[in-house]
């Protein structure tokens, strides 16, 4: 039987008070999606509101394209699946073997505060099922607690979008919180690679990736956990 992967995307499209749009980052969805599909896994897409999640327009610009994003543009089946994400309140953790959260700035506003997402990750953690989050998505762990009532990331090795990467995209003062600061503030051991380079950390059944370039490696790490 093929493994079942849940991918949870943001429904939030406003970049703070800037008047600009945000959402999910295309590469961080497309690269893992094809890693899972090519491995023969059944992928279900979900979001807080269901339906089409908002795409961060910057991830649609020419300099942000990769082989995976180009493949997605030619893939009507994947486009239709993305347009019909399942609302989070219809998702049961027990129906899946692992969960993957793509980033983009959107999750910092909605998924980080969404009780359904928090409960979902807490259920996965209690059952020792694999959880992977890339770039800004480790921010959704902000209110997630372990079985001991402490932050799930306390004492864990993690990575995520760094303060210097946030400064480079000039959104330090726009985002509701900085991923790196939040993780460290919750007692995690935060490590990083060079800005914009692929860097992932696996600690037990938790996989985190630093930035868009890390999304494919994070997906492979998640598959590795499913095989162990």
Q: How many structural domains are present in the chain? A: 1
pLDDT digits (tens, 9 = 90+) for 87-129: 999 999 999 999 999 999 999 999 999 999 999 999 999 999 9
Torsion of CA 185, 191, 196, 197, to 10 degrees: -160
- Stated pTM of the model: 0.98
pLDDT in tens, 189-205: 999 999 999 999 999 99
What's the whole-number average pLDDT of the chain? 97
pLDDT more than 70, % of the chain = 100
Over residues 66-80, the pLDDT tens digits come to 999 999 999 999 999
Tell me the pLDDT tens digit for each residue of 37-62.
Answer: 999 999 999 999 999 999 999 999 99
Q: What is the pLDDT of residue 129?
A: 97
Contact partners, residue 34, CB within 8 Å, separation at least 6: 68, 71, 72
- Would you state the pLDDT for residue 1? 78
DSSP string, 59-126: GGSGGG--HHHHHHHT-HHHHHHHHTBEEGGG--GGG-SEEEE--SSGGGTTTTT-HHHHHHHHHHHH
Q: What is the CATH number of the domain that holds 118?
A: 3.40.50.880
Distant-in-sequence contacts of 72-76, Cβ < 8 A, 24+ apart:
72/26, 72/29, 72/30, 72/33, 72/34
- Distance, in Å, from the CA atom of 124 to the CA atom of 126, rounded to the nearest integer, reads 6
Domain that holds residue 194: 4-227
DSSP element (H, E) containing 131: strand 131-134
């Amino acid at each position: 039987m093929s493994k079942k992967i849940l991918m949870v995307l943001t429904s939030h499209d406003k970049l703070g008070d800037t008047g600009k749009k945000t959402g999910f980052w295309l590469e961080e969805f497309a690269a893992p999606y094809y890693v899972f599909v090519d491995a023969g896994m059944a992928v279900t897409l979900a979001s807080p509101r269901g339906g089409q999640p908002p795409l961060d327009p910057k991830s649609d610009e020419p300099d942000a394209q990769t082989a995976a994003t180009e493949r997605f543009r030619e893939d009507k089946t994947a486009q239709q699946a993305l347009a019909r994400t399942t609302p989070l309140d219809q998702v049961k953790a027990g129906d899946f073997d692992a969960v993957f959260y793509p980033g983009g700035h959107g999750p910092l506003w909605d998924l980080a505060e969404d009780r359904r997402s928090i409960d979902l990750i807490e259920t996965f953690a209690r059952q020792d099922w694999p959880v992977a989050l890339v770039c800004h998505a480790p921010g959704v762990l902000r209110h997630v607690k372990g079985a001991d009532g402490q932050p799930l990331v306390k004492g864990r090795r993690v990575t995520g979008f760094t303060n210097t990467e946030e400064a480079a995209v000039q959104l330090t003062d726009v985002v509701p919180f900085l991923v790196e600061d939040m993780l460290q503030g919750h007692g995690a051991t935060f490590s990083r690679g060079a800005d914009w380079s692929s860097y992932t950390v696996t600690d037990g059944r938790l996989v985190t990736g630093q930035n868009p370039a890390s999304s494919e490696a994070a997906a492979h790490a998640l598959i590795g956990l499913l095989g162990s």
